[in-house]
Amino acid sequence: MQNFDYYNPTHIIFGKGRIADLDKQVPANARVLITYGGGSVRKNGTLDEVKAALGQRHVLEFSGIEPNPAYETLLPAVELVRREKIDFLLAVGGGSVIDGTKFIAAAACYAGDPWEILTSHGAKVTGALPLGTVLTLPATGSEMNNGAVVTRKELKAKLPFLHPAVYPRFSVLDPTKTFTLPPRQIANGVVDAFVHVMEQYLTYPVNSPVQDRFAESLLQTLVEIGPQALANPQDYDIRANVMWTATLALNGLIACGVPQDWATHMIGHELTALYGMDHGQTLAVVLPAMMDERRQAKEAKLLQYGERVWGIREGSVAARIDAAIAKTREFFEAMGTKTRLADYGVGQDGVDQVIAQLQTHGMTALGETREVTPEVSRRVLERSL
Amino acid sequence: MQNFDYYNPTHIIFGKGRIADLDKQVPANARVLITYGGGSVRKNGTLDEVKAALGQRHVLEFSGIEPNPAYETLLPAVELVRREKIDFLLAVGGGSVIDGTKFIAAAACYAGDPWEILTSHGAKVTGALPLGTVLTLPATGSEMNNGAVVTRKELKAKLPFLHPAVYPRFSVLDPTKTFTLPPRQIANGVVDAFVHVMEQYLTYPVNSPVQDRFAESLLQTLVEIGPQALANPQDYDIRANVMWTATLALNGLIACGVPQDWATHMIGHELTALYGMDHGQTLAVVLPAMMDERRQAKEAKLLQYGERVWGIREGSVAARIDAAIAKTREFFEAMGTKTRLADYGVGQDGVDQVIAQLQTHGMTALGETREVTPEVSRRVLERSL
């Protein structure tokens, strides 16, 4: 096992009816900015429930944070926070709203050009306003981690940043708030959580049996309940399990002491920035091709994954790995998420464009062993056409 | 799944050579009290390493915190803390030293009779001095939770308390510090961690597949590496995995959204208080008998445990449960921990004494369904003679 640090101070408030707890969690004298997306939380009553829980506090709203939150969208919120002396941010939505709110929280405390927060991947963050979240879409894990991804549309650049100051103080996870999500969003969320686990699991063995088994626990559970979540949108327990699984998939726990990959995510980010593909769609396309391309470097873990998650115990090494990749692809397709670039209208010239953008963004030595050069990324993309 | 709160702000600093990190974690102007036990940390060099890392800070020492830390031992430390205006506590040792230090931290801030901290199970705690830990014995999980157990020898009372103020700010987990532990302490630690998991797992199903699989992951890992940890005391990876598994066994994570039992622990505490049995020994005695006595209430989970942890898939319900209990007992015995009261010289009159003490301490409705009355506890003890 490798040395590691684990620190995660986010208070999770989980279950039916827990939005009422906001009254205990948000300081009584806070000047609160509620941030949200396209307005579904307004239509389905969640926003009213949040505001009722906040009672007499001074509350402003900022709406319109889009999927893959845009730098250009968020800067006016930073101005609003400063002008109105906001001292607490409350994100109500999914990972995009939460990520955007983390950026607002850090940018409001940053004296320089806020773009530096992203180009430094968080190294230049000097602090952040306190923030809490009310999660409505299980997927990204942002509700219990210190990361965020923001897109600068004019540059077609989708960049991550990390900083301990942006851990949410609390996150309210009420599974009933997911009942009205469109199937495509549930599918994207399940695929995203699945690939988060894979990026921390499918590397090389370091004698970490608990981390391996925890990762396999999350994968097995997503395989089991993902399709059920589509079929039974009002089933509380299924939605509760999807929600908690997605949170655990990226809260730092399964990363303790093990190498991490993230090449699939970095290539996926470029596909979203260039072609507007959903984040989950990009992962469903890239991961199976990445598994195939890196089958030698990842052989031991691919075999373990095949056996423990899919019960694949027979056949040659190559046949077992083929079967594990095929099962993964079938799972994504069963969730309704297509797994080929062609399904999204992206062809060979798209491959060239993604490689050029990876080079522009310095993504030239990806993966757990830094072996995913632009040439390797090209072969991955060509395998996914 | 049940509603739950999860909050755990302890910073884990894991790996070889991490004691040096104390310099970053303890405030530079702190007045530090290092607390420890019988002196093994002095003999094996760990104390010197800790003091070197603390550099020029004002440091005092308090030694002699025994296994099952005694209220009578700890009160002088509370006086020392007040007299010397200590503002940071650093526990160097295992769960007993850490538990004792949590009590010192809370008692130093408590204006009333400190015994009330224990009789209220922490409800009366008003705050605590900040504390950190350097763990030398993987077992109790105290390094990453907000609980402690303290024994008042004159009353033969071993009582737990819980409060968020006593979460360690940080815990340094260096597996090499366990290389010199006697086999009995490693065995006790593995048994303790195993039973911690069982108390949170072996209840009744609430549709929580991830929590179940995480618990089974910890159990499978302890079964696999427990005997290896005895056979290969200098194997870094094995000790690292024992250490991290024991921490995860009782840091709140696998308790999220599920019922909990703890009857085995409460009966075990009385056995330690009356007869001085090691904590791990009491659990190895009580758990198999508790599984047998409560086989109907716990039937679904007993079968799941047998299948997933021990591969027991054949035979009648009764036969499979018998086999699961037998495997559990064999595992404890393989760790060198005897599983019958007679092995520790306790007989039928001991049963009467334990029942009387459980009644004195109000432990009359234990377990996940409060069905473990003194009559049930008596049958459990009689099954374990």
- Can you give the pLDDT at residue A242? 98
Q: What is the pLDDT of residues A47-93, one digit of tens each?
A: 999 999 999 999 999 999 999 999 999 999 999 999 999 999 999 99
Cβ–Cβ below 8 Å for B5 and A13: yes
CA distance B200 to chain A (A): 16
- CB contacts, 8 Å: A11 with chain B: 5-7
Residue A317: what pLDDT? 98
Between chains, do B18 and A2 touch, taking CB under 8 Å as contact?
no
Q: What is the pLDDT of residue A217?
A: 98
The C-alpha atoms of residue A300 and residue A248 are separated, in whole angstroms, by: 24
**Residues of B with Cβ-Cβ distance to A8 under 8 angstroms:** 8-9
Q: Is A4–B16 a contact, with Cβ atoms under 8 angstroms apart?
A: no
On whether the CB atoms of residues A300 and A344 are closer than 8 A, the answer is: no
- Residue at A119: amino acid letter: T
Is the minimum CB–CB distance between A213 and chain B shorter than 8 Å? yes
SS3 of residue B109 by DSSP: coil
Mean pLDDT of A119-148: 97
In order of A59, B205, B302, B316, B339, the CA distances from B320 in angstroms are 59, 18, 9, 6, 20
- Mean pLDDT, residues A275-285: 97
DSSP conformation class of B79: H
Kindly state the tokens that stand for A70. Answer: 């845009």
Supply the pLDDT for residue A338: 98
What phi-psi label fits residue B345: left (phi over 0), alpha (psi between -120 and 50 degrees) or beta? left
Whole-angstrom distance, CA of residue A170 vs CA of residue A25 = 7
pLDDT digits (tens, 9 = 90+) for A148-177: 999 999 998 889 999 999 999 999 999 999
Say which of B1, B5, B214 has its CB closest to residue A12: B5
Q: Dihedral (C-alpha) A237, A238, A244, A249: value to the nearest 10 degrees?
A: 160
Please give the pLDDT value at position A355.
98
Quickly state the pLDDT bin for A385 (edges 50, 70, 90): very high
CA distance B215 to chain A (A): 9
* Residue B320 confidence (pLDDT): 98
For residue A294, give both structure tokens.
């890196």
User: What's the pLDDT score for residue B41?
Assistant: 96
For residues B66 and B37, what is the distance between their CA atoms, to the nearest angstrom?
6
State which amino acid sits at residue B320: R
> Distance between CA atoms of B215 and B200, rounded to whole angstroms?
8
Place of tokens 């769609």: A281
Q: Is A209–B218 a contact, with Cβ atoms under 8 angstroms apart?
A: no
Q: Give the whole-angstrom CA distance, residue B375 versus residue B365.
A: 10
- The reply to whether residue A217 touches residue B220, judged by beta carbons under 8 angstroms, is no
**pTM attached to this predicted model:** 0.97
pLDDT the model gives residue A343: 98
At position B304, the amino acid (one-letter code) is: Q
Which residues of chain B does A256 touch, with a Cβ-Cβ cutoff of 8 Å?
Answer: 12, 14, 244
Determine the pLDDT at residue B267: 97
> What's the pLDDT at A190?
98
* Residue of B10, B19, B171, B217 for testing the chain A interface, max A β-carbons within 10 Å: B217
Closest CA to B102 of B22, B165, B159, B155: B165
* A241 and B CB contact within 8 Å: yes
A24 confidence band (pLDDT: 50, 70, 90):
very high
CA distances from B96 to A266, B116, B141 (A): 46, 20, 11
The neighbour count for residue B100, using CB atoms within 10 Å, is 32
Mean pLDDT in order along chain B per 10 residues (385 residues): 98 98 98 96 96 98 97 98 98 98 98 97 98 97 98 92 98 97 97 98 98 98 98 97 98 98 97 96 98 98 98 98 98 98 97 97 96 98 97
How many angstroms separate the Cα of B337 from the Cα of each of A148, B187, B288? 49, 7, 13
Put simply, whether A234 touches B (Cβ < 8 Å) is no
